[in-house]
Amino acid sequence: MTRGDDGGDWTRPATMRATEWPEEEPGNATKGARVSAGGTPRSLGADLTHSPGSIPLTPELGPSWLRPLVDNVGQVPEAFRRRLPADVLAMVTAAKATAALRKNGRDAAVLVLFSGPPSDQADGASPDALPEDVDLLLTVRASTLRHHAGQAAFPGGASDPEDDGPVGTALREAREETGIDTDRLHPLATMERTFIAPSGFHVVPVLAYSADPGPVAVVDQAETAIVARVPLRAFINPANRLMVYRDYLTRRFAGPAFLLNEMLVWGFTGQVISAMLDVAGWAKPWDVSDVRELDEAMALVGDEDDAR
């Protein structure tokens, strides 16, 4: 499935709009250390125990409108952590430390693919302005799966022994899940390796760009229900944003989520997108007091008649 040009299919229904919310302090968007082919800079405290592989990263091939994110990608982990209460952050940090000591978990990678016009074709007021037709590649897992059924995510998965580092894993998984022509993609940077306690994976998000990634579609319906290039403005729209938590946890564990007509983006994927919007300066003020339990939020997907 490709994105709709007007983005209308991805807008939260008007009956579900968030209320106005005072502008939050955007935080420091100071320029982070540049990444190299080795991944996230060590000075930022990233866990680099994985092999970076030999596939080169080419941040210089990203368009000018993506520079605010590429140049500050090292700030994404801190933006991620800023939304966690101190006690929750301590629990997450302890779980990661325990997994490192026990050498638990498997390596994995996801592809964070931005598509949009090259710098010389951008329609913004300036070359650095964010164009209207930028999108992100996402999938929704099949509802019949035992784990993470119906969950929206970046294309990706566990590393295979023959993969050429996390970039190789992300590209292979994206090709297998969406049929995308990976020769059209430019890997730009890797983000910090993050431990996901519920699944036990150590995940490396790989930031990539393509001016024209070509067609994408569901390859295996047993694993994937939806493949879509979702307009970035659907994530920026404050009316589409909320906080979500699992029923066996408390509201203190709620994380950023995005309620769209065809999917609820939450969990690790929602955290990463929210952090990227903050770091790049694309985020708009939104109602962080709109906190929903996961099942309640999932029930609203595609429900245009819901009156809040």
Report how many domains make up the chain: 1
Range scoring the smallest mean pLDDT among 3-17, 114-128, 246-260, 270-284: 3-17
pLDDT at 122: 57
- pLDDT average, residue stretch 220-225: 92
- Residue 239: pLDDT above 80? yes
pLDDT at 101: 67
- Note whether residue 92 is domain-resident: yes
Please check whether residue 238 lies inside any domain of the structure.
no
Residue at 129 is within a domain = yes
* CATH number where 48 lies: 3.90.79.10
Binned at pLDDT 50, 70 and 90, residue 270 comes out as: very high
At 102-123, the pLDDT tens digits run 666 689 999 999 999 997 665 5
Asked if residue 187 belongs to a domain, the reply is yes
Query: Which of 279, 287, 241, 281 is closest to 82 using CA atoms?
Result: 279
Residues in Cβ contact with 107 at an 8 Å cutoff, skipping those fewer than 6 apart? 50, 158, 159, 166, 169, 201, 202, 204
Q: Is residue 29 part of a domain?
A: no
Give the number of C-alpha atoms closer than 13 A to the C-alpha of residue 210, restricted to the C-beta side: 19
d(CA 48, CA 116): 30
pLDDT tens for each residue of 146-162: 655 688 999 999 999 99
Segment 184-206, tens digit of pLDDT: 999 999 999 888 876 778 899 99
User: Considering the chain, what is the average pLDDT of its residues?
Assistant: 79
Predicted confidence (pLDDT) at residue 2 exceeds the cutoff of 70:
no
Say if 184 falls within a structural domain.
yes
93: containing domain: 38-233
Phi-psi region of 11 (alpha: psi -120 to 50; beta: other; left: phi over 0): beta
Residue at 16 is within a domain: no
* pLDDT recorded at residue 48: 41
pLDDT above 90 covers what percent of the chain? 56
**Least confident window among 32-36, 169-173, 218-222, 237-241:** 32-36
What is the structure's pLDDT at 80? 80
pLDDT exceeds cutoff 70 at 141? yes
123 within a domain of the structure (yes/no):
yes
The CA-based diameter of the chain, rounded to the nearest angstrom, is 52
pTM summary value:
0.80
- Classify 220 as helix, strand or coil: coil
CA-to-CA dists, residue 88 to 82, 238, 294, angstroms: 11, 25, 18
